[in-house]
Structure 1
Amino acid sequence: MERISKFSDRLVKRALEAGGTCSGEHGIGIGKKKYLKKELGPIGYNLLQTLKRTLDPNSIMNPGKVIDI
């Protein structure tokens, strides 16, 4: 599992460096949450936090899963 985790980490970092995404058709999950800030940058991530806070002020929809508010 450790080897797979390290491989996955390298793969995602290379994809982001090439202008790609950290995720595919399944979206961001708990495992790739840590890469989302790097992919979107601070402005994009802050925008997602604002939208999450606006649409789900009590954080009842998937709390802590993708966007921390």
Structure 2
Amino acid sequence: MSEVLSVLAERGDLAHVALGAWAGTSTSLLLWALKQLIQFNKRFEEFMCELEKLNHILRMDLSD
């Protein structure tokens, strides 16, 4: 690993390594955020289905 860093330092490509690391980190963070959003939407949809079931049960009780 130190050989790679020394070659990059000699050529002056360290900025490209930093940019690549930043891009990789940003992409990983975006994917994590999208995963969290998908999970939230799934839980919210389940909550809305349960709420709809409860409303249906309560309406049946009122009509009796």
Whether TM exceeds 0.5 here: the answer is no
Larger proportion of helix: 2
TM-score (norm 1): 0.27
Higher RCO by CA contacts (8 Å cutoff, separation 6 or greater): 1
Give the structure with higher Rg (CA). Answer: 2
